[in-house]
């Protein structure tokens, strides 16, 4: 029997897409398992969701630590859990090159826009949707991509678009994009667990 892909999640926020992965595993846990969730925010929604699902939730306090020092500690936690794939889910820190090197081509992220549009430093959360609306865009969407040294610059794995209606506000666009994220993040993880690229 093929070994399950061991997923480590890095999260800072509510963990909406983490819940999508947890729900996906309840349907069929044969391809992958979430072995730990690491957060830089104490009692984040993601940590709470992990613990409710009996997944180890680890809070690593970034206060007083240099970025590389923090990332080294984070890498050691993931290595302890023998993680095969690192999933960034609402993770609000830019990770450093030593961490990327330790998990090269094994880190994925979801970005709430169609990269290369509205991506890179400064484009995160509602700021993305505000910019999309300010520019009068008719579509937006989400991108799942590998993580490299460039913010939102890694190889694209999957992109899905949604229409923006004339009277949509930030909350409306965010809801449409998050619906795509929740649908496609588990599908991408399953594809990678099957050995897809």
- Who contacts 3 (Cβ-Cβ below 8 Å, separation ≥6)? none
| Beta-carbon contacts of residue 163 (< 8 Å; ≥ 6 apart) | 138, 139, 176
Cα atoms in the Cβ-side hemisphere of radius 13 Å centred on 50: 29
Domain holding 40, by residue range, is 5-193
Predicted local distance difference test score (pLDDT) of residue 2 = 72
Residue 9, domain CATH: 3.40.50.170
Active site residue 111: yes
Task: Choose, from 49, 106, 111, 176, the residue flagged as catalytic.
Answer: 111
Q: Please say whether the beta carbons of 111 and 32 come within 8 A.
A: no
Query: How confident is the chain (197 residues) per 10-residue block, as mean pLDDT?
Result: 90 94 95 97 94 96 95 97 97 94 96 96 93 97 97 96 97 97 97 85
What is the per-residue pLDDT for 74?
97
Residues 6+ apart with CB under 8 A from 86: 7, 8, 9, 10, 78, 103, 106, 107, 108, 147
Per the structure, the count of domains in the chain is 1
């Amino acid at each position: 029997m093929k070994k399950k892909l061991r997923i480590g999640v890095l999260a800072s926020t509510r963990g909406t897409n983490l819940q999508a992965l947890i729900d996906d595993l309840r349907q069929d846990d044969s391809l992958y398992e979430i072995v730990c969730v690491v957060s830089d925010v104490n009692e984040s929604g993601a940590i709470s969701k992990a613990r409710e699902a009996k997944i180890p939730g680890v809070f690593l306090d970034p206060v007083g630590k240099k970025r590389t020092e923090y990332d080294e500690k984070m890498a050691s936690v993931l290595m302890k859990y023998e993680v095969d794939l690192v999933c960034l889910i609402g993770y609000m820190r830019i990770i450093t090159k030593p961490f990327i090197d330790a998990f090269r081509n094994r880190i994925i992220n979801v970005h709430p826009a169609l990269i290369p549009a509205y991506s890179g430093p400064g484009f995160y959360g509602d700021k993305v949707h505000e910019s999309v609306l300010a520019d009068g865009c008719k579509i937006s969407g989400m991108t799942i991509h590998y993580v490299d040294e460039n913010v939102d610059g890694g190889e694209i794995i999957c992109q899905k678009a949604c229409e923006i209606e004339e009277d949509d506000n930030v909350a409306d666009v965010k809801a449409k994009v998050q619906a795509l994220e929740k649908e496609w993040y588990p599908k991408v993880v399953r594809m990678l667990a099957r050995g897809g690229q």
